[in-house]
Amino acid sequence: MLASHKWIWITGLGAIVTIAAMFFWSYCAPHTTAAAGPLLETVTESQTGSDWRIGQPVTYETLTVFPVLSSQEASTAGFETLDTALASGTAIVAEQGDYMRRTRGGNGEQAPAISSGPQVNQLVLVNRGKRPLLLLAGEVVSGGKQDRIIGKDRIIPVGAKPLPLDVFCVEHSRWTNGGDTFAAGKTMVHPTVRAEAAVSQDQSKVWAAVRGDTAAARAQSSMSSSLAVAAPQISSQQLSHVMASAAPTEGYRSIYQSAAVGPSVENFALEVEKRFNRATSDLKGEHVVGVIVAFGGEVAWSDIFASSQLFDAYWPKLLRSYAVEALTRPGSRETVSLVDARDFLRPAIGHVREEIEPGVYRWQERNQGRETEIQLEALEPKPPLTLHWLKVLRTN
């Protein structure tokens, strides 16, 4: 072979190898797209095993809310919320020992005794409806000897016998007869209290959170560590005073209804709601199924549901609970990024604690560092469906 021909052959082979390598790289290597403008606002969260996407953040004062979007819309019409069921009478919540169940024949048969009298941390729940009942930790039921909050996410099946319901008290002073049964509180306690119920499951810590003890400690720590931090708009003293003065009649709901605190919470919530609606008004082929929430410069909470229908049902009271939390935390000029929200959405990989009611639900809790993740999965109808996914950054 002539030297010139050999050189041409080597050069041609090198070109072919180079082209092949470029072709392989273009198809097999990970793709990255330069983020610009609105494209930065939605990111596929493949690490969660779902199609959740993070929408454009909404910020007002010290609260930032990231909409969680999904192109899939699960059917959740077969489940009933607690507020709806209590309002319609298809669910009954009562003090222990105060409920007489009537059979379908109306013969006045008494349900098996669960307790001889009222108990602070247990009520009786009966689902008389035609759909399974969804309960979320932190929901308020109002009445009885004192207002209570649901202690844990769970599902109550259709036709279940009267069952003991684990709850926590959010009124430290009242123990009077406010009626035998409970009504829908249409309220969710703010995240600091809700975390103590759902994660710590400790009555004394729930009371401390309602009084604002943990908020005060957090404010003091933040104020001492940064000159850029402002005092909370609602102090722990204000919160405690409202609870103490109104507890005999109103309970936790007094936070929203009092002249001292209520207008601040409602105005704050309405402004966030207006901005949130504007940010999510032009979605194409996607639905809002949840939110990731940041207070100041810290991503601290998420509530994500299986459908936009469930999210819409809970959103009004969730939003007001976030508003209370934001107003009772010290102000900070720090901001959070899309990357912060995306990192918070990543599933925890710690030890799993699990509870199962066969054929009804599976409840799982994972802890990793300061993060706790709780997932409630409906086992019927099949395939299993994650109705609610909660993640919280614990403050202690």
Tens place of pLDDT per residue across the chain (396 aa): 444 444 444 445 455 545 444 443 333 333 333 333 333 344 444 344 468 999 999 999 999 999 999 998 899 999 999 999 999 999 999 988 666 443 334 444 444 445 555 677 889 999 999 999 999 999 999 888 788 899 999 999 998 889 899 999 886 666 666 667 788 888 899 999 999 999 988 989 988 887 776 554 454 444 444 445 666 667 666 666 666 565 444 467 767 777 767 778 899 999 999 999 999 999 989 999 999 999 988 999 999 999 999 999 999 999 999 999 998 888 777 889 999 999 999 988 888 999 999 999 999 999 999 999 999 999 998 899 999 999 999 876
So where are the chain's domains? 41-102+112-393
- Residues facing 305 on adjacent strands: 388
* DSSP assignment string, 324-387: HHHHHSPB------HHHHHHHHSPP-SEEEEEEETTTEEEEEEEETTEEEEEEEE-SSSSPEEE
Evaluate whether 141 touches 124 at the Cβ level (below 8 Å): no
Secondary structure E strands in the chain: 53-54, 58-60, 63-70, 80-81, 91-95, 122-127, 133-135, 139-143, 148-150, 154-156, 163-169, 182-188, 287-295, 298-305, 351-357, 361-368, 371-378, 385-393
Evaluate whether 319 touches 273 at the Cβ level (below 8 Å): yes
The whole-angstrom separation of Cα 107 and Cα 105 is: 6
Phi, psi (rounded to 5 degrees) for 138: 100, -10
Q: Which residues of 308-346 are buried (b: 16+ CB within 10 A; e: fewer)?
A: bbbbebbbebbbbbbbbbbbbbbbbeeebebebbbebbe
The whole-angstrom separation of Cα 81 and Cα 91 is: 10
